Chain A
Amino acid sequence: SQQGEEDPQALSIQEGENATMNCSYKTSINNLQWYRQNSGRGLVHLILIRSNEREKHSGRLRVTLDTSKKSSSLLITASRAADTASYFCATALNTNAGKSTFGDGTTLTVKP
């Protein structure tokens, strides 16, 4: 398994529902970031959560981090069709000075 695995690989929901994506990792981290990528486009930074934080909010986004379980979750509430994208977690390790290791991503489809 690689650092930064996500599940589910694909998620399809109806508009208005909540979407939860999970990310697991194996080694100690300095921070974990969540990104969105629309098809064929660049990365959009969503949230960074540091290893000493447990939860962060940004608008309809809620990120949790459980360092004891080495896992993080991204919750998107009241989803919209525009939320359709791939979502990646990326971990920055303590010893790697900013180098991020990406998970395989979750493809979210929000049906109108």
Chain B
Amino acid sequence: GAVVSQHPSRVICKSGTSVKIECRSLDFQATTMFWYRQFPKQSLMLMATSNEGSKATYEQGVEKDKFLINHASLTLSTLTVTSAHPEDSSFYICSARPRGRGVEAFFGQGTRLTVV
């Protein structure tokens, strides 16, 4: 159990377009999901915390209008990179916390975004 699926795994988009990344908990309900970003050869940095039915909480320095997060159900959170630019190219990864299981969180396999 505790499988988190991200889609797509890879996406290439043109500069100025928007890209949506989905994070799904397949076999559990997740009241909280987290979005991370990883630049090449660097560690993962938390971008925002997504709570089902409420607004996401963004980390300092992360533009909420650029990185739109929607957690519309207990099994799905989406991250939309709006008006993407080449500097947004990165590896984006989500994690989900099962409801009622304390602080454990499970990670998706990540999405490689390339903006050309």
A residues sitting closer than 8 Å to B (CB atoms) are 30-31, 35, 40-43, 45, 48, 88, 90, 92, 94, 96-105
Contact = CB atoms under 8 A, between A and B. Distances in A.
Interface in B19-39: 32, 34, 36
Interface of B, secondary structure class, is strand
Contacts of A105: 43
A43 B105 contact: no
* Closest 6 A/B residue pairs (Cβ): A42-B109, A98-B97, A42-B110, A98-B105, A102-B44, A30-B103
Given A98-B32, A99-B49, A40 B112 contact: yes
Given A30-B102, A42-B93, A92-B105, A100 B110 contact: no
26 contacts: A30-B102, A30-B103, A31-B103, A40-B112, A41-B109, A41-B110, A42-B6, A42-B93, A43-B107, A43-B110, A45-B106, A45-B107, A48-B104, A88-B43, A88-B44, A90-B44, A92-B103, A92-B105, A98-B34, A98-B103, A98-B104, A101-B46, A102-B43, A102-B45, A104-B43, A105-B43
A100 B105 contact: yes
A64 to B, nearest CB: 20
B89 interface: no
B23 to A, nearest CB: 12
Contacts of B49: 99
Given A30-B103, A43-B110, 19 more contacts: A40-B91, A40-B112, A41-B109, A41-B110, A42-B6, A43-B44, A48-B104, A88-B44, A92-B104, A98-B34, A98-B95, A98-B97, A98-B104, A99-B46, A100-B95, A101-B46, A102-B36, A103-B43, A105-B43
A97 B96 CA distance: 11
Nearest to B57: A99
A90 B6 CA distance: 20
A99 B43 contact: no
Contact of B103 (A45, A96, A101): A96
A105 B45 CA distance: 12
Interface string B30-68: 001010100000111110010000000000000000000
